[in-house]
């Protein structure tokens, strides 16, 4: 890992983090869970983290569960 990389910069790690957030919210209704996940990612993830996950997914890498995927796709950035 280079000096400028952060452990959260790994696409696989970001997928795991998003899925963990999704697991926390999955006890709520689908709409509430998606909103809660999206809100958490928007508030607590840096733009760089969101962009890295977006690029990871765009490159065809999977692993993102359904609720985090729906939440992430609802975000503007």
Residue 3 lies in a domain: no
Q: What is the pLDDT of residues 30-72, one digit of tens each?
A: 999 999 999 999 999 999 999 999 999 999 998 999 999 999 9
> What residues contact 74, with CB distance under 8 A and at least 6 apart?
34, 38
Question: Using a CB cutoff of 8 Å and minimum separation of 24, what contacts does 44-47 make?
Answer: 47/77
The pLDDT value given to residue 6: 55
SS3 61: coil
Question: What's the domain count of the chain?
Answer: 1
Is 52 a member of any domain?
A: yes
Domain range holding 19? Answer: 10-74
pTM: 0.85
The reported pLDDT for the residue numbered 17 is: 96
């Amino acid at each position: 890992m280079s000096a400028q990389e952060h452990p959260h910069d790994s696409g696989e790690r970001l997928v795991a983090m998003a899925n963990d957030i999704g697991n926390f919210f999955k006890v709520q209704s689908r709409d509430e869970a998606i909103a809660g996940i999206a809100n958490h990612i928007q508030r607590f993830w840096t733009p760089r983290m969101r962009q890295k996950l977006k690029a990871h997914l765009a490159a065809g890498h999977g692993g993102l569960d359904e609720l985090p995927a729906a939440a992430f796709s609802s975000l503007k950035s």
